[in-house]
C-alpha cells in the first residue's frame, strides 16, 4: 500500500509541478532524513519527468521520477578515481592531492592501476578490496650493475610482483 501511495504522490509531483516542500516530503523516505532536514536544489521539470537533488546531513542524493513509473534517489559518491587516489596516498606516503591515478583496470574481485606522486610511478593492485599493495616502479625496474648485466630482484619481491591480477 505504501508503494502505491508513493507512486501516486510521484505521479502528482510530475504532473502538477508542486513545490519544494512536496519534493522534500517525497524524498524523505529515500534519503533517510525528515522533510524539514532536506534541502532541494537543481529542480528540473520535464514533460513527464522531474529530477532534483536532495541534500541532508552532508550527503547529496540525485532524485528523479517519471510519470507513473515511480521515482528513485541515488546518493552522490566520489568518483572511483578519488577513492583510488586516497587508497594510493595511504600506501605510498603522499598527500592525496599530489596523487594522479591512471590505467585503472577493474576486474572481478581484483583491480590494478598506476599512480604517480612526486615524480615516482607506482603499480598498485587490490584483491577482494582488502589486500591492497603499491610498488614503486623504481623498485621493480631492472637496474644496470657495474658489470653491465641487469640485477635481479630478491625472490620475495618477484613473488609479490607476480601476484595474480
- What DSSP string runs through 122-154? EEEEEETTTEEEEEEHHHHS--B-TTSSBP---
CA 40 to chain centroid, in Å, comes to: 23
Q: Write out pLDDT tens, residues 80-116.
A: 778 889 999 999 999 999 999 988 887 777 888 999 9
Lookup result for grid cell 653491465: 148
- For residues 96 and 89, the answer to whether their CB atoms sit within 8 Å is yes
Contact predicate 82/70, CB 8 Å: no
- Mean pLDDT (whole number) for 17-46: 89
Report pLDDT for 14: 44
Close Cβ partners of 160 (under 8 Å, ≥ 6 residues apart): 133, 135
| Cα–Cα distance for residue pair 39/20, rounded to 1 Å | 9
Is pLDDT of 20 > 80? yes
At residue 18 the predicted structure's pLDDT band, cuts being 50, 70 and 90, is low
Is the pLDDT assigned to residue 17 strictly greater than 90?
no
pTM, two decimals, is: 0.44
Dihedral angle sign, alpha carbons of residues 16, 20, 25, 27: positive
Residue 155 in this model has a pLDDT that exceeds 50: no
User: How many CB atoms within 10 Å of residue 100?
Assistant: 13
Q: Is the pLDDT of residue 158 over 50?
A: no
Q: What is the pLDDT at residue 162?
A: 36
According to the 3-state scheme, what is the secondary structure of 2-61? HHHHHHHHHHHHHHHCCCHHHHHHHHHHHHCCCHHHCEEEEEEECCCEEEEEEEECCEEE
CA distances from 4 to 12, 69, 144, 147 (A): 12, 11, 72, 79
Computed over every residue of the chain, the mean pLDDT equals 76
Amino acid at each position: 500500500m505504501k508503494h502505491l501511495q508513493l507512486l501516486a504522490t510521484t505521479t502528482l509531483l510530475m504532473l502538477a509541478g508542486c513545490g519544494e516542500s512536496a519534493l522534500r516530503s517525497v524524498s524523505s523516505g529515500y534519503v533517510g532524513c525528515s522533510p524539514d532536514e532536506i534541502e532541494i536544489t537543481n529542480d528540473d521539470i520535464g514533460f513527464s519527468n522531474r529530477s532534483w537533488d536532495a541534500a541532508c546531513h552532508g550527503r547529496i542524493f540525485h532524485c528523479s521520477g517519471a510519470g507513473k513509473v515511480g521515482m528513485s534517489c541515488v546518493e552522490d559518491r566520489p568518483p572511483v578515481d578519488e577513492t583510488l587516489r586516497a587508497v594510493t596516498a595511504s600506501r605510498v606516503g603522499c598527500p592525496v592531492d599530489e596523487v594522479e591515478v591512471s590505467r585503472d583496470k577493474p576486474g572481478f574481485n581484483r583491480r590494478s592501476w598506476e599512480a604517480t606522486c612526486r615524480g615516482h610511478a607506482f603499480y598498485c593492485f587490490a584483491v577482494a578490496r582488502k589486500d591492497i599493495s603499491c610498488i614503486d616502479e623504481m623498485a621493480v625496474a631492472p637496474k644496470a650493475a657495474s658489470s653491465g648485466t641487469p640485477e635481479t630482484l630478491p625472490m620475495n619481491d618477484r613473488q609479490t610482483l607476480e601476484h595474480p591480477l
